Amino acid sequence: MDPSLASIQVLVTKLKSEIFSKQKSGHLYSFMPPSAYDTAWLAMIPHPQENNTPLFKGCLEWLLHNQKEEGYWGDLPTIDALPATLACMAALQKWGFGDENIERGASKITN
C-alpha cells in the first residue's frame, strides 16, 4: 500500500473515532448542520451489515419531523427547496417510511 494512502487512512480512522465518540445523544447525524438535502442523502445510506435498514436511522426521523407544514423541506418555499424536497421524498420512499410526508411533498411539487 502506498505510504501516503496508509497515512490518510490512519487520519480518517482517528477523525471518525473522535467525532463519533463525542456523540452522547446517540444520533450520529448531530455533528452535521440541519440541511434537509444533505440529511436525505445520509438517510439513503444502507447499513453495511443490514442492507434492509438505514445506517443513519436518526436522519429518517429528522426528515419525518422537519417537513414544513406546506409540504416542502428546506428553508423557504422557493425553487431552491425543490432538490431538498425530492431528495427527502426519495429517502423516505427507499425505506418505506412517511407515506403521508411523501404525499404532502408531491402535492407541493405539483402545485
Q: What is the pLDDT of residues 62-85, one digit of tens each?
A: 999 999 999 999 988 888 899 999
* Domain membership flag for residue 13: no
44 lies in which domain range? 25-110
**Letter for the amino acid at 22?**
K
The CATH number given to whatever domain includes residue 33 is 1.50.10.160
What are the pLDDT digits (tens) for 24-53? 555 555 555 579 999 999 999 999 999 899
Which of 54, 53, 59 lies closest to 30, judged by CA? Answer: 59
- Is residue 108 within 8 Å of residue 96, measured between CB atoms? no
Q: Does residue 10 sit within a domain?
A: no
Q: Please tell me the distance from the alpha carbon of residue 90 to that of residue 83, in angstroms, as a whole number.
A: 10
Distances (CA, A) of 68 to 1, 32, 35: 49, 20, 13
Of the candidates 36, 110, 106, the residue with the CA atom closest to the CA atom of residue 71: 106
Q: What is the pTM of this model?
A: 0.70
In a domain, 15, yes or no: no
For the chain, the domain total comes to 1
* Beta-ladder partners of 54: 46
